[in-house]
């Protein structure tokens, strides 16, 4: 099992550590509800250094990205980030990922931790034009500082003007005395904030500087458990739960990042699927009756006929009620439709609700 550069620090802070995507990761410190509330109302710091980072460089780098990405990376400009997915040849999803345009021949791809090797091999397979590829995952640390007070807490550490930074943009500069740091604003919590990409050897210094600067803002370390409840309140997909190699991107609601303005892997197949429509759709739902939905629980109609399955579910700390995501037959996907979750052989009532669950 791999460690991040901060594993010993997390242990010293009393974090509960768990295996996740091949890494020894902090799942919680003070407790899920407390950590969740901290991010929603103040500022919290996640060590997400398990994520993967690839540099693609060369005159044909954009062509390679256009081939493997569902989205149109030609729309990017220096300092702009784009969300998309890597389609496979069979109608499913290799991974969802971010593309950062550093300059016109240099791009940073950020991929999910569990898919680093798979994604690298997949992109390499399509690299027929000699694009320079570098996997910097093992040398790179990533901190996500999330919450409404993030900009105020961090501003003293950098000359980059944080408050006006637009969503899905980034800048490179000095941060906490370290040169050449990428500071981005993509977020996975819906609470606002920033991501800091820094070399492993500098991350402890940066972490300590962040906590010193954030002391007056109620800053706390946050584990993966609260990251999951926060992203679920926003209805954000998690690879391996809500999308995977067998998931239709149109069923998953990813049509908005599927751009047929260029050719890409399986674009013809996906175009046909878009025209024909899908039989199932990923929906959000709130529980009406008591019960917590969990991954792979059956979703049924009023008569108990199986119409789908839960992909993610939790007790929402913000709403004080249970919420989830799941695939259902298209006829049941309309907002307001009553559905039932099979929890320990009990039919528990829920209602389809369009995410985000909190505004």
C-alpha to C-alpha distance for 320 and 68, rounded to whole angstroms = 41
What are the residues whose beta carbons fall under 8 Å from the beta carbon of 319, sequence distance 6 or more? 233, 286, 357, 358
In terms of Cβ atoms closer than 10 Å to its own Cβ (0-12, 13-18, 19+), residue 257 is middle
Q: Is the dihedral of CA 247, 137, 27, 45 positive or negative?
A: negative
**Count of CB atoms situated within 10 Å of the CB of 60:** 18
- 195 assigned ligand-binding residue: yes
Query: Would you state the structure tokens that stand for residue 281, as one six-digit string?
Result: 């759709």
Compute the CA torsion angle 22, 23, 28, 29 (nearest 10 deg): 160
C-alpha to C-alpha distance for 134 and 131, rounded to whole angstroms = 10
Binding residues: 195
Binding residues for substrate: 195
């Amino acid at each position: 099992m791999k460690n991040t550069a901060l594993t010993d620090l997390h242990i010293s802070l009393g974090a509960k550590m768990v295996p996740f995507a091949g890494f020894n990761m902090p799942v919680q410190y003070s407790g899920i509800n407390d950590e969740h509330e901290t991010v929603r109302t103040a500022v919290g710091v996640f060590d997400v250094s398990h994520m993967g980072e690839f540099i693609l460089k060369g005159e044909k780098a954009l062509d390679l990205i256009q081939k493997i990405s569902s989205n149109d990376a030609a729309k990017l400009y220096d300092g702009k980030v784009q969300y998309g997915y890597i389609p496979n040849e069979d109608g499913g999803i290799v991974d969802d990922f971010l593309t950062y345009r550093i300059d016109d021949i240099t791009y940073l791809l950020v991929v999910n931790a569990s898919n680093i090797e798979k994604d690298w091999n997949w992109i390499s397979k399509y690299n027929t034009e000699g694009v320079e590829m570098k996997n910097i995952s093992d040398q790179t640390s990533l901190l996500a500082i999330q919450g409404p007070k993030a900009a105020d807490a961090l501003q003293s550490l950098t000359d980059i003007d944080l408050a006006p930074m637009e969503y899905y943009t980034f800048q490179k500069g000095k941060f906490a005395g370290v040169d050449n740091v990428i500071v981005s604003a993509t977020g996975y919590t819906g609470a606002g904030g920033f991501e800091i990409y820094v070399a492993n050897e500098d991350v402890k210094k940066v972490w300590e500087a962040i906590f010193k600067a954030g002391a007056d803002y109620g800053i706390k370390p946050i584990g993966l458990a609260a990251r999951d409840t926060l992203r679920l309140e926003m209805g954000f997909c998690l690879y391996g739960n809500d999308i995977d190699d067998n998931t239709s991107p149109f069923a998953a609601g990813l049509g908005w990042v599927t751009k047929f303005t260029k050719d890409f892997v399986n674009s013809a197949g996906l175009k046909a699927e878009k025209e024909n429509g899908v039989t199932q759709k990923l929906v959000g739902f709130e529980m009406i009756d008591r019960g917590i939905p969990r991954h792979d629980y059956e979703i049924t109609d009023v008569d108990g006929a199986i119409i789908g399955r839960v992909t993610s579910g939790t007790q929402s700390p913000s709403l004080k009620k249970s919420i989830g995501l799941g695939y259902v037959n298209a006829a049941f996907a309309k907002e307001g439709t009553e559905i039932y979750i099979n929890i320990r052989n009990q039919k528990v009532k829920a209602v389809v609700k369009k995410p985000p669950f909190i505004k």
